[in-house]
Amino acid sequence: MLFFVFCRELFGSGNTGINFDKYEEIAVEATGHNVPACIQKFSELNLHPWIMDNIRLCHYDKPTPVQKFAIPTALENRDLMACAQTGSGKTAAFLLPILHHILSGGPEMLRKSDTAPNGRRRLYPAALVLAPTRELTLQ
């Protein structure tokens, strides 16, 4: 029961004060060759079960416009440039696919049993996220 109390404190009621229905009015331009289809719900994605559980815990029902287009694109390992206002969901749009790939097997070097001469297991980075400012890093 302690876990559920912690989740309630962490995620609250899920009401952020943002009118997500207004997001539907935002125009999105996706360009490129064979652009992946956008999604309307997170349930359309075949994300790792832990990620889907956390999306439900956060009460995220609908993806934001940037997430609708960016997540399917990133899941296909394609290049992506997204420009959207603060609070539009860009961070989740690129982190959810990264976490999905890590949890679903990760890079080959993470699965190998590679030991150093001292008998310790070698560790490799699974992802590298760069941020231009300290404030953005703290997000």
pLDDT at 1: 43
3-state secondary structure of 121: strand
Does 123 fall in a domain? Answer: no
Q: Tell me: the pLDDT tens digits for 71-85?
A: 999 999 898 888 888
Cβ neighbours around 96 below 10 Å, total: 25
Nearest CA-CA partner of 35 in 84, 83, 85, 70 = 70
Could you give the number of structural domains in the chain? 1
CATH number at residue 73: 3.40.50.300
What's the pTM value of the predicted model, to 2 decimals? 0.73
Does 121 fall in a domain? Answer: no
Q: Which residue's entry shows tokens 């029961």?
A: 1
